[in-house]
Amino acid sequence: MDKYVDLVEAKYLKKDIPKFNVGDTVDVQLKIVEEGKTRLQTFEGIVIARAGCGLRETFTVRKISYGEGVEFVFPLHTPTIEKIKVIKKGDVKRAKLYYLKRKVGKATKVEEKIEHVEAEPPAPPREEVK
């Protein structure tokens, strides 16, 4: 039964989703329809949770707006999401960041992950030809 459900869901899965994890700061662009017109609205915040798999996968984004915490749960494969852009990678050790709800001010910051790039070994010295 599950393989039939997976076959039906496969055509609705989005292909252009960037890799992001909990702790990353993302910018989600939503398509909003008002009076027959569509416009894009951005929601930028920290991903505090991811849940589900396949077509039912969701992620929760939290931001502080005018001193109030705002959370939004987005279905990952919904057609109302135009684009997801990863602003910066977060370095966290937990799968869910619900503890950020109790923090205030600078304590809500998540440390940025620094990617280490392996340097190429130096080339061997060339012999001089006379």
Q: pLDDT tens for residues 9-39?
A: 888 999 999 999 999 999 999 999 999 899 9
What CATH number should be reported for the domain holding residue 23? Answer: 2.30.30.790
Structural domain for 78, as ranges: 2-97
Domain count, the chain: 1
Given a cut of 70, whether residue 121 has pLDDT beyond it is yes
The more confidently predicted of residues 127 and 90 is 90
pTM beyond 0.75: the answer is: yes
Long-range (24+ apart) CB contacts under 8 A made by 12-20 are 12/55, 12/77, 13/54, 13/55, 13/77, 14/76, 14/77, 14/81, 16/83, 17/76, 17/77, 17/84, 18/84, 18/85, 18/86, 19/86, 20/47, 20/59, 20/84, 20/86
